[in-house]
Amino acid sequence: MNLDPDLDLVLKRTIKAPAAILYQCWTQPEHLVHFFVPKPHRVTACTLDVRPGGACNTTFDVDGTEMENNGVYLEVIPNEKLVFTDAYTEGWKPKPDPFMTAIILFEDNGDGTTNYTAIARHRSKETAKTHEQMGFYDGWGTVVTQLEEYAQGLL
């Protein structure tokens, strides 16, 4: 995959859980709500139709403010890759001001661990910089830690 350092923010980590469990966590609402936003924030609603064109909708409570994040899946390879974006909503309806496309990669190491890569791809340098300044690395890093802790409870 060609990464653009001006547009792509990348977080990599080895997680102590198999790829199949991590994929399950990312694709089933009853699991996603436990790790998807840094605590004490929380997911208050989640609709996942995990197929290209299917809804990828979440609602967060951030300090008492509800934030909707609606989009669609672009690519789904079970246990290996998820690509979703807020550029469209279900039914391929374009959104007027999209923020990013997320690419989540799971590389199972065969020993109970997974090389996990999260990429936030942006349309412009300015949007990428804004996301970085919003705390991309700390926030998404916290989410990965929460994912690992939650996934280990499913083993």
Sequence-ordered alpha helix ranges (H) in the chain: 19-27, 29-32, 125-133, 136-152
pLDDT, mean of residues 89-93: 90
32-60 per-position pLDDT tens digit: 999 999 999 999 999 999 999 999 999 99
**Can you give the pTM of this predicted structure?**
0.95
Phi, psi values for residue 138, rounded to 5°? -70, -45
- Indicate whether 1 pLDDT > 90: no
Assign 116 a pLDDT band (cuts: 50, 70, 90).
very high
What is the per-residue pLDDT for 4? 96
Structure tokens at 92: 């391929």
**Do residues 71 and 86 make contact, with C-beta atoms less than 8 angstroms apart?**
yes
Are 19 and 5 a contacting pair, CB within 8 Å? Answer: no
Distances (CA, A) of 74 to 78, 92, 129: 13, 10, 24
Architecture of domain 8-152: 2-Layer Sandwich (3.30)
